[in-house]
Amino acid sequence: MIEKIKALLEEVREFNATSLEQVEELRIRLLSKKGEIPSLFKDFKSVDPSERKEVGRQLNILKQEAVKKLAAIKSGLEQEALNKKMSDKKPDTTMPARFNPIGSRHPLSVVRNRINGIFERIGFVISEGPEIEDDWHNFSALNFPEEHPARDMQDTFFVSKNPDIALRTHTSSVQVRVMENQKPPIRTISPGRVFRNEAISARAHCIFHQVEGLYIDEGVSFADMKQCLLYFAREMFGESTRIRLRPSFFPFTEPSAEMDVSCNICGGPGCTICKYSGWIEVMGCGMVDPNVLENCGIDSRKYSGYAFGMGIERIAMNLYQIKDLRMFFENDLRFLRQFRSAI
Ligand code: PHE
């Protein structure tokens, strides 16, 4: 029996084929149910116990090598056939050229870049900061009282408690860092991603994007802020845009305001977009609270400043008439492809 195994092993090792039929032929002869190898396994039962170990070993080697060799030759032949098929094919010169799909910027990036550009043109520089913030930069330095609801678990995603580390809820935290590290005059905008623990809906998301601005110098007034924001509104929404400031409250500004722009769809008389009010709310703003300046090491008797902050999603929804904020995050190509921009 051992001779038979050896002879077959020899045959397997020397086997070569030029067609798949030859491979199949050998496979049937050696490996099929009634093939030589299975029948050797059957005969194995009658092998003398003293020879069993060696015969068994050889038989296993034979089987493994046969399986491997046949598979290797088969795949080699298949590949050859494929290559031949490809090279036989003549190029079809009438075929249309291959279309190279070009990506487009995400609408939020387009709008952010436009906002940045508008402020950069009047001397604001971009500053960035960490998305994971400590309590000081996100809340305390900004004059948030100890019990302010925004600090609550309900509004803020905490990474740890004691010391409190959280995902920043606004990019005002970046402005604290700038004030701590630079001397006035300061003119900066901080675009970035922010996080609030809100239920996701057509109008809210737990992740969104902001651009906040800060201007600090000697003698900066509310009128300066108004002029700057009017300039922004006209650049962003068009020459004839008007603005209005409504009193509001933020812990870090005093006085504080909400800024509305005249509806860029109906221009004032009222439509479904502005809910028939003629106005659309776009940002919060106000004069930096002296406490905040002092917290950041800036002399509030010498310097004053204004700050503002807006949500990029909201502006983009308004500009492009997007009804559902979730579309920004779904990355549906049919949606994204509609936005092409040079910036
Ligand atoms: N930080 C405020 C917010 O999250 C926006 C704001 C910035 C308001 C600066 C006033 C001044 O929403």
Task: Give me the CATH number covering residue 266.
Answer: 3.30.930.10
Q: Long-range contact list for 56-64, CB < 8 A, 24+ apart?
A: 58/2, 58/5, 58/6, 58/9, 59/5, 61/9, 62/5, 62/8, 62/9, 62/12, 62/37, 63/31, 63/37
- Tell me, what's the pLDDT at 169? 95
Summarize the confidence of residues 266-278 as an average pLDDT. 83
Q: Does some domain include residue 94?
A: no
Q: Bridge-partner residues for 243, per DSSP?
A: 261
The model scores a pTM over 0.75: no
- Tell me, what's the pLDDT at 188? 98
Confidence of residue 139 (pLDDT cuts 50, 70, 90): very high
Q: Which residue has the higher pLDDT, 267 or 162?
A: 162
> Same domain, yes or no, for 117 and 259?
yes
The H-assigned helical ranges of the chain are 2-14, 20-31, 36-43, 49-88, 107-120, 135-138, 172-181, 222-237, 290-295, 312-320, 327-330, 333-336
Q: Is the pLDDT of residue 308 over 90?
A: yes
> What pLDDT digit, counting tens, does each position of 201-260 carry?
988 899 999 999 999 999 999 999 999 999 999 999 999 999 999 999 999 999 999 999
Q: Is residue 306 helix, strand or coil? A: strand
CA pseudo-torsion sign 232, 139, 305, 281: positive
Nearest CA to ligand 1 atom 8: 284
Cα(212) to centroid of ligand 1, in Å?
7
> Same domain, yes or no, for 123 and 196?
yes
Instruction: Measure the N-to-C terminal CA separation of the chain; round to a whole number of Å.
Output: 80
Transcribe 276-304 into DSSP letters: TSSEEEEEEEEEEPHHHHHHTT--TTT-E
> Same domain, yes or no, for 130 and 40?
no
Summarize the confidence of residues 17-24 as an average pLDDT. 89
Q: With contact defined as beta carbons under 8 Å apart, do 341 and 316 qualify?
A: no
Instruction: Please give the tally of structural domains in the chain.
Output: 2
> Same domain, yes or no, for 50 and 113?
no
Q: Is the pLDDT of residue 72 over 70?
A: yes
Nearest residue to 77 via CA among 27, 19, 24, 22: 19
Summarize the confidence of residues 310-338 as an average pLDDT. 91
> Same domain, yes or no, for 20 and 79?
yes
> Same domain, yes or no, for 111 and 251?
yes
- Tell me, what's the pLDDT at 342? 64
Q: Does some domain include residue 203?
A: yes
Q: For ligand 1, say whether the CB of 175 is within 6 Å of any of its atoms.
A: no
Q: For ligand 1, say whether the CB of 284 is within 6 Å of any of its atoms.
A: yes
Residue type, 242: R
Nearest residue to 57 via CA among 34, 40, 74, 78: 40
> Same domain, yes or no, for 65 and 209?
no
Q: For ligand 1, say whether the CB of 285 is within 6 Å of any of its atoms.
A: yes
- Tell me, what's the pLDDT at 238? 93
Cα(172) to centroid of ligand 1, in Å?
7
Summarize the confidence of residues 42-53 as an average pLDDT. 86
> Same domain, yes or no, for 163 and 263?
yes
Q: For ligand 1, say whether the CB of 212 is within 6 Å of any of its atoms.
A: yes
What's the chain's Rg over C-alpha atoms?
37
Can you give the residue range of the structural domain that contains 215?
A: 107-339
Q: For ligand 1, say whether the CB of 253 is within 6 Å of any of its atoms.
A: yes
Q: With contact defined as beta carbons under 8 Å apart, do 246 and 238 qualify?
A: no
Q: Does some domain include residue 97?
A: no
CA 218, 222, 228, 234: dihedral to nearest 10 degrees?
-170
Q: With contact defined as beta carbons under 8 Å apart, do 245 and 135 qualify?
A: no
Q: Does some domain include residue 186?
A: yes
- Tell me, what's the pLDDT at 286? 98
Confidence of residue 103 (pLDDT cuts 50, 70, 90): confident
Q: Write down which residue in 61, 88, 115 finishes a domain.
A: 88
Confidence of residue 329 (pLDDT cuts 50, 70, 90): very high
> Same domain, yes or no, for 35 and 137?
no
> Same domain, yes or no, for 11 and 79?
yes
Transcribe 38-98 into DSSP letters: HHHHHHGGGS-HHHHHHHHHHHHHHHHHHHHHHHHHHHHHHHHHHHHHHHHSPP-TTSPPP
Q: Does some domain include residue 99?
A: no
- Tell me, what's the pLDDT at 266? 84
Q: Does some domain include residue 96?
A: no
> Same domain, yes or no, for 179 and 313?
yes
* Minimum-distance ligand 1 atom for the alpha carbon of 142: 1
Q: Does some domain include residue 101?
A: no
